[in-house]
Structure 1
Amino acid sequence: MNFKSYLLRFFSFTIFAMMISCDKDFNEIGTNIVGGDNDHYLFDRYENASIKAYNQKIGAVAMNNLPINPLGIYKNPVFGTTTAGFVSQLEMASGSIGRKFNNTDSTLYQDLPIIDSVILNVPYYSKVIGTVTSEGISTYQLDSIYGEAGSKMRLSVYESNYFLRDLDPTAQFTEQQVFYNDMQEIENQKIPFVLNNLSVFDDKNLDGHENAQFYFDKREHKTTVKNSENVDVPTRSVPSLRLHLDKATFYNKIINAPTSQLASNTIFKNYFRGLYFKVEDLGNSNSMAMLNFANANAKVTVYYTEDLKVTVGSTTTFEKKNKTFDLNFAGNRVSLQSNSNENMDYLSAANATQEASKLYLKGGEGSIAIIDLFGPDADNNGIADEVEQIKANGWLINEANLTFYIDKTAITGQAIEPNRLMLYDLNNNRVLLDYLTDQSLNSRNPKQNKFIHGGILLDEDDVFVKQIKDETTGLITNRGTKYKIRLTNHIKNLINKDSTNVRLGLVVTESINTIGFSKLKTPIGNIKKVPQMSALSPVGTILYGTNIPVGDPNYANRLKLEIYYTKPD
């Protein structure tokens, strides 16, 4: 190719990439992405690059103060069952700090305050999908739910008695305290009284208790709240985790609290150490939601009344005043995850050390893949021999992709395929240059940002796949075929700038937009961290690896590095 043709090709691609980064919905099947094989007819292709891939099982992961937190039970026949609980400190909202109740000021109030209700509310990720009726009713669809949103489980909320300290004493209180997903201390030290114990008889709670047959309900909430003038005000709110908590507990902890314990949140978080959410399987429970406890509307609200004395002349009357005391899920928050009934084939493959024919990726306390590019460095000069040959050839690298094909014989039935994989620098626990330089956005679905870098579930034609579940059978009716990740800049740096040929890590990710890393409780060689959004994801997949011999029926599906290049004139 001559230089003029190359420039034409480059500017055409740039304009096209800018156009598709606009407000187009890439959820819909039929939307093509940049990078299909037809785009490369002007380039030569090198697809025999040396590549080896391995599985690595990981242990407990740091899960404190994550951007979102899973809650529930998710069953995957390929990997087993993941159970996710949660513990969080509570902080008084700014208007509640230092509040003095009327237990000593009888000149203003009659008697003590009376608690009407204590409501815990955490909005789900949802969107309106139905027409708003004349009554103002909206129909919602829940997002970020794995399994079946209507699947019932036991959900118990306890008062935690474990103090989640801010700083690590073993590091001379100079580093943040790390809390891992396997903290048995939370369970062992809970105050053994279920707070969400109110008897409520409806189709959601068949035995009359909010905790016994809980599920993630997609209906909006219709409630009535009394304003300060004691007038009923009807309200509607989005679907949420909404529970009534025990009034006596909060009366003792809040209304009867010594004033000194409400003086600041630092004091309060040691006095009232937070809430612990525990989920239990009812036998067929299979539903897990991603929740944002940091949401401004995620809180515990104590609704109470006070009788204010009003004296006119010689006549004294009492006016009922409705008030609230808000507690936010602030401070330290920890996701608690455990695995059970793990598939033996998965455990055997994930714990093996040899080059893998299949790659098992599982979020949470699961497994990752390790990828080595370009083979050995026989002359020990710090550069792989294959890279030296490419440099000697003088190739101009135009594009490079890793393509991972899904083992469709293993991922079947109700198993959800991860919508996204993430490739990263395993040596240094950081994202690749291609991630940093990709500014492509999808405003309708931010989880598909950076779609040029890729890692999104695709069909055979490189089209984004929107998984659809049959409501009757629970089966996924359309499945993905592969994942493709562009690492052009990474390869260019290896060839042109003698960058270090680092090992690459591959994980499932809940969101591509967060690039933090979580510590492993027990490092595995040089592997000390995994991407944060992989730590909280419950899903997994099986991909074809590299140890597939020629002649094997799956040889064409092996993991490949494809490099498109221009030869020098």
Structure 2
Amino acid sequence: MKKIGRLTLLLLGVVLITISCEDDFAEAGSDLVNNNNFNALLYDASQLEVATKPLVKMQSNSLNSYSLGFYTDQVYGNYSASILTQLRLQNPDPGFGAYPELDSVVLSIPYYSKPISQDETGTQYKLDSIYGNVPINLELYRSNYFLRSEDPENDYAPQAYYSNQRDLFESYLDAQPFDTIVNFQPSAAEVRFRKVNSRGEFDTIVASPRTRIKLPLQYFKELIFDKEGQPELLSNSNFQNFFRGLYIKPVNTLETPITALSLLNLRSEEAKISLYFNTSDVQDPSDEELQQKEYELYFGSNIVNVFNTEDQTIPTGNEIYLKGGQGSMATIDLFTDPAELETLRASEWLINEANLTFYVDENQISEDHNQPQRLFVYDIKNNKVLQDYTFDISANDNNPLKSRLIHLGRLDKDNNGKRFYKLKLTSYVSDIINKDSTNTRLGLTVSNNVNIFNPLKAEVEGEENIEEGSQIEVIPSPILLTPQSTVLYGPDAPEANRLKLNIYYTEPN
């Protein structure tokens, strides 16, 4: 019985220790410094440098979403976003029957949305990544610029197109748009439309929010139906050389700057142009002989976002200026004093936590400013995320807003109501101090989805004198997909708001 009692106590102790360890693990990154198990000390005197880097151009043809419209920023000014895309045939060399008659042509592009409730009237949705609620016009042009998939001047690597090529692309447009969409404005209402089923009959489809706009019949009759059996429709490559691109350009009909920007899911199979037509094998068919059909044009593999940033400015100063779109990022250099770093490496500290806390400049960023909830940091030299990102146990693929909260903390407020972002770099700093890892430059950007890195080629200002191999070559793609911005205090700010590298450590016994 005594042995059983001791065994029970031992098992109970193991359980309690396990629970305690799990609690400590769950709390790591929140109140680790105050945990009595560590008794950590704070070192915050490390020297660091931060610099704002305006973005000159970014690769914008390898995105999963595309911006369209206008955006006005109280700090950075205004810009607009247009889209150039190839179209792709549903199937090459299509046949439309002996006597086809085009009935309607509909452009359909789904919005990003999520259902929030459901009742007898249907499903209610909330739109995501829609900024502003001002109606705008859209002009649709035929482009005569050929978008290549491979770059013959770069050993036939995948062709890169950039956000600053607007003037080039617009110089290849037809003189007049083939259609103008008036008062375009996204709606959160679910949509109902007809779709031809396999029996040639129309079914009523209920779908998530999307734009559905009728396009001119005669234009697409000449573009598609009149080319049946001709070389232009024999293959997608032939068609994309014949109709080289569709350019969608927003038009502000007001005299003042506006915000009316939409993030569109052009990579979805639901993004398309549908041609509805009737056909038969006889010239004057009866209702029974008439067949209802549908032919679709999808958005092609080459889609490019271009921006007009003529009215946008990136301020200069000691603050850190971060802006989405073709805006700005920042670079961070830690341990800029080599002697200090050698002293830290000789200390043999156990690094419990290391973080950078960025305070918002409340004088420039008001409470109603459309500020990003998340920032993103990455390794510039190696063009990859940090180890802290990879090992963050809070990763949530289904909810980016609540994902990787240990490493990339959300916008928060301290006890005095001051807004801040806390980014934890514990593994990164620990490896530099204790494993002699290379102290590389870090890149800092805004982000609308921290689950995505997807590095894209970029050119930024002020990199000319940076050592080769440490220059910025790529940026995370989400910066291109959000217009949001912020202004943060840097390492030269007053003490209460100063950016510091806070290192919490335990000294060796």
1:145 aligns with 2:130: yes
Q: Taking structure 1 as reference, are residues 453 and 316 closer, same or farther at Cα in structure 2, changes over 3 Å only? A: closer
- Where does residue 336 of structure 1 map in the other structure? 306
User: Which residues of 2 match residues 386-535 of structure 1 at below 5 A?
Assistant: 386-412=340-366, 414-442=368-396, 445-460=399-414, 481-521=419-459, 524-525=463-464, 526-535=471-480
Q: Which residue, out of 225, 239, 243, partners 2:209?
A: 239
Aligned residue in 2 for 1:64: 61
Query: Does structure 1 retain, via aligned residues, the 8 Å contact 2:93–2:228?
Result: no
Letter in 1 for 2:425: L
Shift of 1:516: 2.1
Partner of 1:308, secondary structure, is coil
Look up the SS of the partner of 1:332 in the other structure.
strand
Instruction: Give 1:316 deviation, angstroms.
Output: 9.4
The answer to whether structure 1 residue 281 and structure 2 residue 252 are counterparts is: yes
1:348 shift after superposition: 3.3
Structure 1 position 424, deviation (Å): 1.1
In the alignment, the residues of structure 2 paired with residue 491 and residue 413 of structure 1 have an alpha-carbon distance, to the nearest angstrom, of 33
Question: Are residues 190 and 151 of structure 1, via their aligned partners in 2, closer, same or farther at CA, if it must alter by over 3 Å?
Answer: same
Structure 1 residue 364 corresponds to structure 2 residue 325: yes
Residue 428 of structure 2 aligns with an amino acid whose one-letter code is: H
Is 2:179 aligned against 1:182? no
- The residue number in structure 1 matching 2:94 is 99
State the alpha-carbon separation in 1 of the partners of residues 367 and 351 from structure 2.
Answer: 41
What secondary structure sits across from 1:506 in the alignment? Answer: strand
The whole-number CA distance in structure 2 between the counterparts of 1:500 and 1:521 is 24
2:10 matched residue in structure 1: none
**Offset, 1:71:** 1.2
Moved more, 188-197 or 287-296: 188-197
- What is the Cα deviation at residue 317 of structure 1? 8.8
Which position in structure 1 is the counterpart of 2:240? 269
> Cα gap change, 1:222/1:566 in structure 2, threshold over 3 Å: closer, same or farther?
same
Supply the distance in 2 between the matched residues of 1:59 and 1:72 (Cα, whole angstroms).
20
Contact 1:417 1:480 in 2 (8 A): no
Shift of 1:83: 0.7
Equivalent residues of 2:411, 2:420 under 8 A apart: yes
Q: Separation in 2 of the partners of 1:175 and 1:374? A: 38
Distance of 1:518 and 1:73 partners within structure 2? 23
Q: CA deviation at 1:365?
A: 2.0
| Residues 464-506 of structure 1: CA deviation (Å, up to 9, x unaligned) | xxxxxxxxxxxxxxx9711111111111110122111111111
Q: Residues 82-97 of structure 1 correspond to what in structure 2 (within 5 A)? A: 82-93=79-90, 96-97=91-92
Rounded Cα–Cα distance in structure 2 between residues aligned with 1:340 and 1:449:
35
Give the equivalent residue in structure 1 for 2:271: 298
Tell me: CA distance 1:509–1:323, structure 2 relative to 1, closer, same or farther (3 Å): same
For residue 282 of structure 1, report the CA deviation from its aligned partner: 2.7
Matches of residues 538-553 of structure 1 in structure 2 within 5 Å?
Answer: 538-548=483-493
Alignment of 1:107-186 (within 5 A): 109=98, 111=99, 113-133=100-120, 136-146=121-131, 148=132, 150-172=133-155, 174-183=156-165, 184-186=167-169
Alignment partner of 1:34 is 2:21: no
More off after superposition, 443-452 vs 431-440: 443-452
> Aligned residue for 1:76?
73
Shift, 1:556, TM fit: 1.3
AA aligned opposite 1:530:
I
Deviation readout 1:245-269 (Å, 9 max, x if unpaired): 1211211121111533222222222
Report how many aligned residue pairs link the two structures: 482
TM superposition shift of 1:394: 1.7
Aligned partners of 2:150, 2:75: CA distance in 1, in Å? 39
How many Å apart are 1:427 and its aligned residue?
Answer: 2.3
Q: Do the aligned residues in 2 keep the contact of 1:396 with 1:567 (CA within 8 Å)?
A: yes
Change in Cα spacing, 1:168 to 1:57, as seen in structure 2 (3 Å) is same
Distance (whole Å) between structure 1 residues aligned to residue 239 and residue 190 of structure 2? 33
Contact 1:82 1:339 in 2 (8 A): yes
Q: Give CA deviations for 1:532-552 in whole Å, capped at 9, x if unaligned.
A: 22133211100000113xxxx
- The residue type equivalent to 1:129 in the other structure is I
Shift of residue 444, structure 1, vs aligned partner: 5.4
CA contact (8 A) 2:113 2:126 kept: yes
In the superposition, relative to structure 1, how do residues 163 and 39 fare at CA in structure 2: closer, same or farther (>3 Å)? farther
TM-score normalised by L of structure 2: 0.87
Displacement after TM superposition at 1:227 (Å): 5.3
Q: Tell whether the 8 Å contact from 1:71 to 1:84 is kept in structure 2 after alignment.
A: yes
SS in 1 for 2:315: helix
Give 3-state SS (helix, strand or coil) of 2:344's partner: helix
- By percentage of residues, which structure has more strand? 2
Cα contact 1:61–1:364 (8 A) shared by 2: no
Residues 401 and 158 (structure 1), Cα distance of their counterparts in 2 relative to 1, 3 Å cut: same
Q: 1:44 to 1:269 in 2, by over 3 A?
A: same
Amino acid in the other structure paired with 1:347: P
Match of 1:13 in 2: 24
For residue 568 of structure 1, what is the aligned residue in structure 2? Answer: 508
| Corresponding residue of 1:352 | none
| Cα drift, residue 37 of structure 1 | 5.8
Measured in 2, the distance between the counterparts of 1:177 and 1:231 equals: 42
Aligned-pair distance for 1:369? Answer: 1.3
Aligned-partner residue type, residue 167 of structure 1: E
Match for residue 347 of structure 1 among 315, 329, 332:
315
Greater Cα offset, 48-57 or 498-507:
48-57
2:291 — aligned with what?
Answer: 321
Amino acid at match of 2:451: N
- SS state at 1:139 partner: strand
SS in structure 2 at match of 1:305: strand
Kindly tell me: are residues 141 and 195 of structure 1, through their superposed partners in 2, closer, same or farther at Cα, counting changes over 3 Å?
Answer: farther
- Of 216, 221, 231 in structure 1, the residue corresponding to residue 186 of structure 2 is 216
Native 8 Å contact 1:158 1:276 kept in 2: yes
TM-score, length of structure 1 as denominator length: 0.78
Q: CA deviation at 1:145?
A: 1.6
**Could you say if the C-alpha distance between residues 532 and 233 of structure 1 is closer, same or farther in structure 2, counting changes exceeding 3 Å?**
closer
Q: What do residues 214-246 of structure 1 show as CA deviations (whole Å, max 9, x unaligned)? A: 111222223345657675543322111221112
**C-alpha distance in 2, partners of 1:144/1:545?**
29
Q: Are the aligned partners of 1:58 and 1:366 in contact in 2 as well (CA < 8 Å)?
A: yes
Alpha carbons of structure 1 residues 182 and 310: separation in structure 2 relative to 1, 3 Å = closer
Identical amino acids, percent of aligned pairs: 33
